[in-house]
Amino acid sequence: MVRSPETGARLAGKIVLVTGAGQGVGRGAALALAREGAAVALAGRTVSKCVAVAEEISAFGGTALALACDVTERLQVDQAVAATVERFGGLDAVVNNAQSSMQRLIAETTDDDVELCWRSGPMATLYAMQAALPHLRARGGGTIVNFGSSTAIEGNATFGAYAMAKEGIRGLSRVAAREWGRYGIRVNVVVPTALSPAAERFRDADPERFRRQESRFALGRMGDPETDIGRAIVALVSDDLGYLTGDTLMLTGGA
């Protein structure tokens, strides 16, 4: 039975699978979704991190399920979707956040670099979308939220393999939006700039340089994974943005 926390019921009855949910934007999205009443399945390679997030959610009265899942393995993605449906009785949305990264100059980029980014990005996103499709159709529609990157849109140096992967996800998402709109399924991409664990390490190691980086943002700060990014994902999963599909939502603070 899906319980809704007292803090909100905007997504009451909704069931959402979030990949890479143990930290950063994935954790922020999971917390925001759960605070609004969704039952959230938390998938990640390090299941202990997902368990910790599930405990956070339980502490404020939400409902969560922690799942071990390496998104580069189709079988594990299929199993995560099946476990979510078995535990909660269905599936309304998938947030494909998990992604590995590699920074290297293009001249030095290896096949392994590309393979890492490609398998954890577009291929993993495809696996989750395909596994979720019959369950979303059974619910009469649903939402898929995929992730792009400003480093790909801007063409930042050393992000060649990562940019390939992220722009591949955006292309896949646009096609899926066209193909699956007939089923009431909306597919959109979020491009976030948020205080991830890597950004926190950068801030702590070099506060002055971090402040200079933040000055690039029109809003003067890096986004919060839950309140800035997670709440936008709540809007995408809810009916508030029910006419938005095949699009990219830039959550970069004006950078």
| Nearest CA among 215, 221, 189 for reference residue 94 | 189
Residue 163 CA to residue 161 CA, distance in Å, equals 5
Measuring CA to CA, how many Å separate 85 from each of 17, 104, 138? 10, 39, 11
Question: 249 with 188: CB under 8 angstroms?
Answer: yes
Q: Residue type at 137?
A: R
Choose, from 127, 162, 183, 243, the residue flagged as catalytic.
162
Q: Which segments of 113-211 are extended strands (E)?
A: 142-147, 185-192
Residue 104 CA to residue 107 CA, distance in Å, equals 8
Residue 164 CA to residue 35 CA, distance in Å, equals 34
Q: Which segments of the chain are extended strands (E)?
A: 15-19, 39-44, 63-68, 93-96, 142-147, 185-192, 248-251
The dihedral through the CA atoms of 120, 126, 131, 136 has a sign that is: positive
Residue 132 CA to residue 55 CA, distance in Å, equals 25
| Nearest CA among 41, 99, 95 for reference residue 70 | 99
Tokens of 252: 């970069």
127 annotated active-site: no
Catalytic residue list? 162
